[in-house]
Amino acid sequence: MFVIAHVSDPHVDGSAERAERVARVTRYLRGLTRPVDVVLLCGDIVDSGRREDYEEVLALFAGTAPVLALPGNHDDPSALSAALGDEAGTSSDSPHRCVVLGGVRFVLLDTTVPGEVGGALGAEGLSWLDRTLADPGAGATPTVVATHHPPVPVGHPFVDGVALADSAPFGEVLSRHPAVVAVLVGHAHTAGASTVAGVPVLLGPGVASTLVLPFESRPGDDAVVTSEAPPALALHLLTGRHLTTHFRVLG
């Protein structure tokens, strides 16, 4: 069994409150009697792309498990890559990465669009994904695709307006590659599950805050997220091609 700790949207900003939320996650991981095999940071790792905030996050996770990360719209991809020391297999000719860890292939997509809240892969990104998933050397290696922007509507008009713009061709690419067992995403700040092209899409809960659906709002309050909710994470247990998810709220 391979265990993925899926941690998303910590939005670390130099404040003690955001750092404490991440520390709650790392204390939980350190308290497990069996360490997770990887920590996957699914974007919006920091709030404004500052290098020192990435270093703070990585210091908090140090010693828990190997860390894989991809950028969200609040991140600076180059500052993130520099803070990671390019250990996760960055190649200079693509913003996307493919990493094999413990017999699992992770395809980490950079869906950010400079200056935009929403995301897209574009023709180049879709082509890269198709080529990467088709790598004959990978054979049937169980493959996890990770993106910040969800390739599905989540049921909130704001989030759905800033999701992955090219979700239809993204689904078409996935449908050609049966090795993909799940798509792990962030951005929506909600623990949830959906599908794209028949592939599970698992939404990582927000560490910094949690989505408020329109019908959960108090009258007169149109906040998209609430920071009253405690931090949370998803644990994905992968055995062969079988993936089971447990969400943990760290109240």
Residue 97, judged by CB atoms within 10 A of its CB (0-12, 13-18, 19+), counts as buried
Least Å from the CB of residue 189 to Fe ion:
6
DSSP letters for 198-219: TEEEEEPPBSS-EE--GGGSPT
Residue closest to Fe ion (Cβ): 44
Output the smallest distance, CB 62 to Fe ion, in A.
23
The token pair at 10 is 């910590």
- CB of residue 162 to Fe ion, shortest distance in Å: 8
Taking the least distance from each CB to Fe ion, the nearer of 119 and 171 is 119
Distance from C-alpha of 140 to C-alpha of 142, rounded to nearest angstrom: 6
Identity of the residue, 9 or 37, whose beta carbon is nearer to Fe ion in the bound complex: 9
Which residue's CB is nearer to Fe ion, number 73 or number 90? 73
- For residue 178, how far is the Cα from the chain centroid? 21
- Minimum CB distance to Fe ion, residue 137 (Å): 33
- Going by C-beta distance under 8 Å and a sequence separation of 6 or more, which residues neighbour residue 82? 51, 54
Residue 73 or residue 245: which is nearer to Fe ion going by CB?
73
Strand segments (E) across 28-113: 38-41, 67-69, 97-101, 104-108
Question: Shortest approach of Fe ion to residue 208 CB, angstroms?
Answer: 7
Closest CA to 91 of 74, 108, 72: 108
Of 3 and 117, nearer to Fe ion (C-beta) is 117
- The Cβ of residue 149 has, within 10 Å, a number of other Cβ atoms equal to 29
CB of 159 to Fe ion, least distance (A): 9
Give Cβ neighbours of residue 144 (< 8 Å, ≥ 6 apart).
Answer: 4, 40, 104, 105, 106, 107, 180, 181, 182, 183, 184, 236, 238
Would you say 18 or 187 has its CB closer to Fe ion? 187
Look up residue 111 and give its two tokens. 């869906």
Residues that bind Fe ion (CB under 5 A): 9, 44, 72-73, 187
